[in-house]
Structure 1
Amino acid sequence: MRTKLISAPYTIWMTLFIIVPMGLVAFFAFTDKSGAFTLDNIARVGQYSNVFLRSIWLGALATFISLLLGYPLAYTIAKAAPNRQSFLILLIMLPMWMNFLLRTYAWMSLLEDNGLINNMLAAVGLPRIHMINTAGAVVLGMVYNYIPYMILPIYSVLTKIDNSVIEAAQDLGANNRNVFLKVVLPMSMPGVISGVTMVFVPAVSTFIISKMLGGGGNLLIGDLIDMQFLGSAYNPNLGSAISLVLMVIILICMGIMNQFDDGENVGGGMIL
């Protein structure tokens, strides 16, 4: 009885904010405007396959870049002195204290044709570069906004690796390269998989970043869903169908990534 009382708030929360919304999405996806059952909405999603492919490609690219940049940063922080680690983590999290829209607006002013970066290039005699309203600007915005979600789980796992394990590998004749490749990297995979998931999921479904930095020529799934619910092409049934298909794609991607995590290396790299 006591267990049921303790779990009751969580059950109510999940019912109201997870199960009910997902049920409504499924209901609208398989019905028309009159409420009759139909598969036309799901069939129409295929018309936007190019948008899905673009979103997955840009989301995967942003995730890959975040991993390339985030892993060395997380490793450096984990190897720093304990009294410096908290300060370095604070620097990583500091931009997240600012509003998401303000951070994106800041990048707009930096990347514009007459923005700070191009003005600096012109000041030193270099030609201006068109950066705003491009796919590269969208990827840059994704990496900047989501890279902390890559660094933090990897750092959390790296700090839990016992130094005695590394010392044992060194005592057995492993050099620094082999210690990293055969000990540290495999043991940090739970954090890597968690970070990849936490970056890829919001990146593939974003709409603010693509709208502000990508312009109208870089339409992503999030923009498409936003248009169906809030834009001039108001069609919540089609928007729900697109959302449902996106949810299935994300679940499949997460299932594939989970196959690379045996869950036996180091605790703390939980897949969300």
Structure 2
Amino acid sequence: PIRLTDPPHRSASPVTISEPTLDPDTSRNESTVPARRSFDPERLGLGLLLLAGALLVVVGTGIVTGVLATLALALTLGTVVALIGAAILGGPEVRRKIAPYGLLKPGMLWLALFYLAPLVTLLRNSLSTLPSRFAVKADFDWNFGNYSTAFTDFGGQFQRGFGYAAVATVLTILLGYPLAYVIAFRGGKYRGLLLGLIIIPFFTSYLIRTIAWQSLLADTGPIPNVLNDLGFRPILNALGIMDGDKILNTPAAVIGGLTYNFLPFMALPIYVSLEKINLTLVDAAKDLYSGSVRAFFKVIFPLSLPGVFAGTLLTFIPASGDFVNQQYLGNPNTSVIGQSIQNQFLVQNNLPVASAMSFVLMMIITVFVIIYSRFFGTDDLA
């Protein structure tokens, strides 16, 4: 083998590497030059989506009219054309990033025109003043007094509306949960039939179902007669459910109508949550010495809470503003906020106060939903 050694007369010296020097004629170093920003299709898609929605809201609320409204609609159409053009000319990567905004655009424009625009109009009307009772258009003048009128003059209707809706929601949970439980775990081959029986009431109009309850609860109807024959009248009178021999035109009748009409909205979401539960978890709980009752409260009920949450929202929100049940099953002393809003809109022609009442109702429900969702959580609703 050949062994290489340094020559004896040459001493080893450390190797030094000098830093590169910049050319004095060069005004800036290449490392300090900022990178050029590339085209971001996601920002373009989001910007065009928001711009088109804002233009439709402006046109739908009547803030701009005439030539300006025509120009706003032309710009809205231009945003659609610009989005399509960017997708065509940008290549596959741009189309991949911009496609979600293109798919969102029809639905978002629909919501902007038919939800946000009416909502903004309602807010403007709630801050307006009606020159006279027979005036058609209210004058926008930031009149916050309409909100104080909504609370002071219709506070009882708000309380009854939310109170009836809350009681009806609790009753639908008590009735709907066992119903959904039996169908999910004991339905077997009849599960589809039982679900169909829950959905069958939807084949009939909401109004017709309520009028049918009016006939059932009438003074000479079958339900009061059966209760009187069974001797339940003294107990029901003591509980405040019956008023003498009457059930119709009482708060109990209104709550009963709400419970019946919204029961499917509670039972079906709970069934969906129960149907997804893996029963091996229950078997595992029993192997760890949990009884059936404890396994239910430790395993099944917590896993079904997303269904209870969804059913509560689907029941409480529409029941809070419902007035059909009160109109046909209640009396003037059981008037609720939904009926008062209808009266202010269609009978009294008091658009500002009616708009303020509607906006207050929506805000209260929104606050309730936010608090309720943070308490239960919404991660497993899908």
Q: Which piece of structure 1 moves more, 145-154 or 42-51? A: 42-51
Match of 1:195 among 311, 323, 345: 311
Structure with higher helix content:
1
Give the whole-Å Cα distance in 1 for the aligned partners of 2:190 and 2:261: 23
State the match for 2:14 in structure 1: none
Q: Which runs of 5+ in 1 are unaligned?
A: none
The one-character-per-residue Cα deviations of 1:19-71 (angstroms, maximum 9, x if unpaired) are 11111111101111222221111111122111111111111011111111111
The one-character-per-residue Cα deviations of 1:151-170 (angstroms, maximum 9, x if unpaired) are 01110000001122112112
State the match for 1:43 in structure 2: 148
Using the size of structure 2 for normalisation, the TM-score is 0.66
Give the whole-Å Cα distance in 2 for the aligned partners of 1:83 and 1:156: 17
**Cα distance, 1:13–1:92 mapped onto 2, change above 3 Å:** same
Match of 2:245 among 126, 129, 142: 129
Q: Which piece of structure 1 moves more, 57-66 or 108-117? A: 108-117
Structure 1 stretches (4+) deviating beyond 4 angstroms? 119-128
**Cα distance, 1:37–1:195 mapped onto 2, change above 3 Å:** same
**Cα distance, 1:263–1:165 mapped onto 2, change above 3 Å:** farther
Confirm whether residue 17 of structure 1 aligns to residue 114 of structure 2.
Answer: yes
Give the whole-Å Cα distance in 2 for the aligned partners of 1:258 and 1:4: 28
User: Residues 22-101 of structure 1: matches in 2 within 5 Å?
Assistant: 22-33=119-130, 34-47=139-152, 48-101=154-207
The one-character-per-residue Cα deviations of 1:174-214 (angstroms, maximum 9, x if unpaired) are 11011101111111111111111111111111011111111
Question: Residue 75 of structure 1 aligns to which amino acid in structure 2?
Answer: Y
Confirm whether residue 218 of structure 1 aligns to residue 334 of structure 2.
Answer: yes
- Determine what percentage of the aligned residue pairs are the same residue: 34
Question: SS of the residue aligned with 1:246?
Answer: helix
State the match for 1:2 in structure 2: 99
Give the whole-Å Cα distance in 2 for the aligned partners of 1:133 and 1:226: 20
Give the whole-Å Cα distance in 1 for the aligned partners of 2:213 and 2:268: 23
Q: Which piece of structure 1 moves more, 36-45 or 253-262? A: 253-262
Confirm whether residue 257 of structure 1 aligns to residue 372 of structure 2.
Answer: yes
Please give the root-mean-square deviation of Cα atoms over the aligned residues, in Å.
1.8
The one-character-per-residue Cα deviations of 1:102-145 (angstroms, maximum 9, x if unpaired) are 00010001111122323455778997820111100000000000
Tell me the CA shift for residue 252 of structure 1.
1.2
Confirm whether residue 242 of structure 1 aligns to residue 357 of structure 2.
Answer: yes
**Cα distance, 1:4–1:52 mapped onto 2, change above 3 Å:** same
Confirm whether residue 142 of structure 1 aligns to residue 258 of structure 2.
Answer: yes
Match of 2:291 among 175, 179, 183: 175
User: How many corresponding residue pairs?
Assistant: 266
The one-character-per-residue Cα deviations of 1:189-243 (angstroms, maximum 9, x if unpaired) are 1111111111111111101111111122211010010001112x12111111000
Report the structure number with the largest CA radius of gyration: 2
**Cα distance, 1:126–1:149 mapped onto 2, change above 3 Å:** closer
Question: Residue 45 of structure 1 aligns to which amino acid in structure 2?
Answer: A
Give the whole-Å Cα distance in 2 for the aligned partners of 1:236 and 1:100: 27
Give the whole-Å Cα distance in 2 for the aligned partners of 1:81 and 1:70: 15
